[in-house]
């Protein structure tokens, strides 16, 4: 029992140190711009197909499922408003973050832990260069930048999915649909979406890098790291979502 608590405390201390060294390396020159751009490409562009499909399906299915309950009240005209609120306030950031946890989180976890296993991280360290700066800071910066961008994209494609699921049923032009959507979404909703996406992006980058960087040596360490990068990213995203919802409710 005592040793478990001790282990936990040591773990927290290590996370704290990792966070501090990220912050220090991220803001101090020289910057690894080229590597940040490469990571943005790896993280953002390569998640694009999967994100597109998922975003579309979520918008489509959610709208389809919501329509009957509004129909009961004869309120199908409210559908665009409902969808836009649901997508911007909750679905887009959450879907983006969960997909990215799976796709990007596992990638970062596996990459860093295999570099750790094959002593590439040690090799950077002993050549007088700084592996935290090159490997970790760049990835965290990239996820923090790319998840919000992907999130906007998911919101857009989700709304298109929503529109396409009702276009046959309600006699609603695309223009009318999107006019109603934009009338409903307030600036503060978009702001809240961006905050969420930034928090989630940072979390995914940080948790996955941490897990990969400190993975146990050995081949099975790579699989374990990829796995726990995904699990811890997703878990943290849900916890943060809960906290953010409470916080926003308080602010309103």
Partner 1 sequence: MEKNNVHIDRNEVVIHVDNVSKSFGSLHVLRDVDVKLFKGENLVVLGRSGTGKSVLIKLISGLLTPDKGHVRVLGETVNELDERALRTLRQRIGFSFQNSALYDSMTVRENLEFPLVRNKRNLSRAEINKEVEEVLEGVGLSQAINQMPSELSGGQRKRIGIARTLILRPDIMLYDEPTAGLDPITCLDINTLINEVQERFNTSSIIITHDLACAKMVGDRMVMLLDGKFERQGTFKEIFDTDDARVKSFYDYNFIV
Given the rule CB under 8 A, which residues bind partner 1?
A: 30, 111, 115, 118-120, 122-130, 134
Rounded to the nearest whole angstrom, what is the least distance from the CB of residue 130 to partner 1 in the complex? 7
* Gap between the Cα atoms of 182 and 189, Å rounded: 11
The contacts of residue 18 (CB under 8 Å, 6+ apart) are 136, 206, 210, 213, 214
Q: In terms of CB distance, is 124 or 198 closer to partner 1?
A: 124
Q: In terms of CB distance, is 93 or 109 closer to partner 1?
A: 109
Q: In terms of CB distance, is 106 or 165 closer to partner 1?
A: 106
Rounded to the nearest whole angstrom, what is the least distance from the CB of residue 204 to partner 1 in the complex? 20
The dihedrals phi and psi of 155, each to the nearest 5 degrees, come to: -60, -45
Rounded to the nearest whole angstrom, what is the least distance from the CB of residue 124 to partner 1 in the complex? 8
How many C-beta neighbours within 10 Å does residue 47 have? 21
Rounded to the nearest whole angstrom, what is the least distance from the CB of residue 109 to partner 1 in the complex? 15
3-state SS assignment for residue 218: coil
The contacts of residue 184 (CB under 8 Å, 6+ apart) are 80, 81, 84, 85
Q: In terms of CB distance, is 121 or 193 closer to partner 1?
A: 121
């Amino acid at each position: 029992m005592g040793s478990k608590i001790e282990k936990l405390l040591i773990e927290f201390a290590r996370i704290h140190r990792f966070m501090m060294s990220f912050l220090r390396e991220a803001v101090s020159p020289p910057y690894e711009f080229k590597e940040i751009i490469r990571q943005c490409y790896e993280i953002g562009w390569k998640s694009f197909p999967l994100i597109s499909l998922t975003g579309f399906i979520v918008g489509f299915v959610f709208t389809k499922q919501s329509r009957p309950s509004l129909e009961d009240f004869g309120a199908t005209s409210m559908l665009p408003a409902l969808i836009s609120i649901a997508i911007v306030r909750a679905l887009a950031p959450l879907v983006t973050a969960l997909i990215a946890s799976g796709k990007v989180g596992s990638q970062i976890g596996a990459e860093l832990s295999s570099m750790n296993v094959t002593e590439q991280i040690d090799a950077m360290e002993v050549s007088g260069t700084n592996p935290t700066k090159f490997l970790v800071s760049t990835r965290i910066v990239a996820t923090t930048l790319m998840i919000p961008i992907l999130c906007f994209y998911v919101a857009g494609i989700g709304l298109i999915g929503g529109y396409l699921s009702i276009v046959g049923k309600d006699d609603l032009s695309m223009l009318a649909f999107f006019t109603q959507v934009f009338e409903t979404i307030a600036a503060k909703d978009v702001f809240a979406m961006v905050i969420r996406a930034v928090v989630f992006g940072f979390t995914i980058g940080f948790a996955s890098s941490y897990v990969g960087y400190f993975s146990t040596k050995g081949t099975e360490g790579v699989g374990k790291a990829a796995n726990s990068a995904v699990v811890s990213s997703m878990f943290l995203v849900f916890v943060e979502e809960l906290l953010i919802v409470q916080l926003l409710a308080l602010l309103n």
